[in-house]
């Protein structure tokens, strides 16, 4: 069975889950927005992006930078900003987390937008990124 | 012979790029196709390049098929969501278009309608994975199709953008997702490209995927200036500007620069072909192919 390349929508949230989601979201936002500039996609991949939110990218890329990163690491769309994926790469290097950049992040489920990522993990509405085998054939876990 | 069989047989591939017109005039494509007939193995049809409206790449690819050339339809994620892309891909397959180049697409800010909403529902790697799934007979919803598509999947790479290592990771992901050929951004910085190819070969990334180097013939220093300001992900060689400015015949100097670049590229281990990107100078393609000794067709 090949893994799903997109995050599929499971059954809709029950009323109880919605209440819990909103409650959790209060805490989640209070932590993630100031710390990681979280964009509240509800399908958090911070753990594989060296704790920098990739969704600040103007193209909301989830699998690495586009071809427009400047010589100085600037974003081509907003040149005053640094490309988020440029920062993710160098921080991953610093933290020894380069392996995680090889993972495939699934096509986003927009039904999860502005919901609690923590609840979505708990309720198994989102799954971890797909590990791709590295070029040196060593499995990335 | 199709592009797929040529790639599988290990032939040195030559591609070129046509911009569809900014109008409904299909004759422009027929005329351009005539210039490339018998010269190149396949022709890219750009998809609203630089985020400016052009005739659609699907329609342009169909016209090219009618003219007897092999199209590579470019497909970006800027203008359609997953539903639109899948339906366009199925339509293209039904029209007999079997090569697709998967791109994220330039941001709409760079076009003439920056007011537009960019879609970016998928990124290029996810698009590659999705086309691969269609080839296996499944829609993204998981629904089985009665007839699978048979796309040869291509993707792009920019060896010249920072960070260098991240570009290799991206290439790796594209290949694992299903890309079978790669067209790079135009090569102006040969030493950097050579270094990149060394890494590609070290990691064995060239084994299951044909790497085609982008070459952009340029005839005036003004074009270079335009590219620098308006086209993303392009690195310019100052030496070329100097040569074009001091030459009495810049056109032939432009051809010489492109031919020299190709001759150097041909020596690089692991490289499987050339992708010519003659921005508004299609006349140069037959000349360059001849002078660089790239005997193409069949």
B-chain residues near A65 (CB < 8 A): 161, 166, 170
How many CB atoms neighbour CB B269 within 10 A? 10
Helix H or strand E encompassing B100? strand B99-103
Query: Minimum mean pLDDT among A68-82, B41-55, B224-238, B280-294: which range?
Result: B224-238
A-chain residues near B158 (CB < 8 A): 67
| Alpha carbon B43 to its chain's center | 9
Q: Which pLDDT score, from 0 to 100, does residue A26 have?
A: 95
| Segments forming the whole domain that contains residue A70 | 15-122
Question: Cα(B155)–Cα(B17) distance, rounded to whole angstroms?
Answer: 14
Report whether B211 contacts A140 (CB < 8 A): no
Is the model's pLDDT at B147 over the cut of 90? yes
Provide the residue ranges of all domains of chain B, joining segments of one domain with +: 3-291
Question: Cα(B100)–Cα(B128) distance, rounded to whole angstroms?
Answer: 9
Q: Which residues of B219-258 are buried (b: 16+ CB within 10 A; e: fewer)?
A: bbbebbeebeeebbbbbbbeebbebbeebeebbebbbbbb
CATH class, range B3-291: alpha beta
In a domain, A51, yes or no: yes
DSSP code for B58: H
User: What is the per-residue pLDDT across B18-51, written as a single tens digit (0 to 9) for each?
Assistant: 999 999 999 999 999 999 999 999 999 999 999 9
Complex ipTM over 0.85? yes
Question: Cα(B188)–Cα(B236) distance, rounded to whole angstroms?
Answer: 6
User: What is the per-residue pLDDT across A15-32, written as a single tens digit (0 to 9) for each?
Assistant: 998 899 999 999 999 999
Q: Which pLDDT score, from 0 to 100, does residue A134 have?
A: 64
B-chain residues near A85 (CB < 8 A): 166
Residues in A whose CB is inside 8 Å of some CB of B read: 2, 4-6, 8, 58-73, 76-77, 85-86, 89-90, 98, 101-102, 104, 106-108, 110, 132-136
In a domain, A90, yes or no: yes
Percentage helix, strand, coil for chain A under 3-state DSSP, each rounded to 5 = 40, 5, 60
Q: What percent of chain B has pLDDT over 90?
A: 87
Tokens of B19: 């911009």
Confidence of residue B232 (pLDDT cuts 50, 70, 90): low
User: What is the per-residue pLDDT across A122-141, written as a single tens digit (0 to 9) for each?
Assistant: 999 998 899 886 655 544 43
User: Considering its fold, how many domains does chain A have in total?
Assistant: 1
Please give the residue that has the higher pLDDT: either A48 or B241: A48
Q: CA nearest A108: which of B58, B82, B196, B185?
A: B82
């Amino acid at each position: 069975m090949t893994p799903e390349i997109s995050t599929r929508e499971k059954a809709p949230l029950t009323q109880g889950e919605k209440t819990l989601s909103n409650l959790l979201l209060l805490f989640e936002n209070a932590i993630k927005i100031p710390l990681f500039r979280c964009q509240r996609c509800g399908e958090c991949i911070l753990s594989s992006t060296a704790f920098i939110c990739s969704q600040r990218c103007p193209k909301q890329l989830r699998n690495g930078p586009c071809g427009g990163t400047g010589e100085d690491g600037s974003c081509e769309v907003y040149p005053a900003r640094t490309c988020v994926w440029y920062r993710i790469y160098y921080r991953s290097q610093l933290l020894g987390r380069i392996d995680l950049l090889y993972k495939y992040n699934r096509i986003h489920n927009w039904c999860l937008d502005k919901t609690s990522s923590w609840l979505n993990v708990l309720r198994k509405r989102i799954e971890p990124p797909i590990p791709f085998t590295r070029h040196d054939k060593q499995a990335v876990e | 012979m199709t592009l797929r069989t040529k790639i599988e047989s290990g032939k040195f591939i030559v591609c070129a790029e046509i911009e569809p017109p900014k109008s409904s005039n299909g004759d422009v494509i027929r005329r351009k196709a005539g210039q490339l007939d018998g010269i190149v193995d396949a022709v890219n049809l750009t998809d609203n390049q630089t985020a400016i409206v052009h005739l659609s790449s699907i329609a342009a690819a169909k016209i090219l098929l009618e003219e007897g050339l092999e199209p590579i339809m470019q497909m970006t994620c800027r203008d359609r969501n997953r539903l639109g892309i899948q339906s366009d891909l199925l339509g293209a397959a039904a029209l007999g278009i079997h090569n697709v180049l998967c791109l994220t697409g330039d941001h709409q800010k760079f076009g003439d309608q920056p007011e537009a909403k960019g879609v970016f529902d998928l990124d290029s790697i996810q698009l590659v994975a999705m086309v691969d799934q269609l080839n296996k007979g499944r829609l993204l919803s998981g629904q089985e199709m009665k007839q699978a598509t048979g796309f040869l999947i291509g993707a792009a790479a920019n060896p010249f953008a920072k960070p260098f290592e991240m570009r290799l990771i991206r290439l790796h992901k594209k290949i694992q997702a299903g890309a079978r050929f790669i067209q790079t951004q135009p090569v102006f910085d040969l030493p950097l490209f050579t270094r990149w190819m060394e890494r590609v070969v070290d990691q064995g990334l060239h084994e299951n995927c044909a790497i085609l180097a982008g070459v952009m013939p340029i005839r005036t220093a003004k074009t270079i200036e335009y590219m620098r300001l308006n086209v993303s992900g392009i690195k310019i060689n100052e030496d070329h500007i100097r040569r074009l400015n001091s030459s009495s015949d810049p056109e032939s100097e432009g051809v010489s620069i492109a031919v020299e670049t190709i001759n150097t590229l041909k020596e690089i281990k692991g490289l499987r072909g050339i992708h010519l990107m003659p921005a508004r100078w299609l006349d140069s393609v037959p000349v360059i192919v001849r002078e660089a000794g790239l005997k193409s067709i069949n």
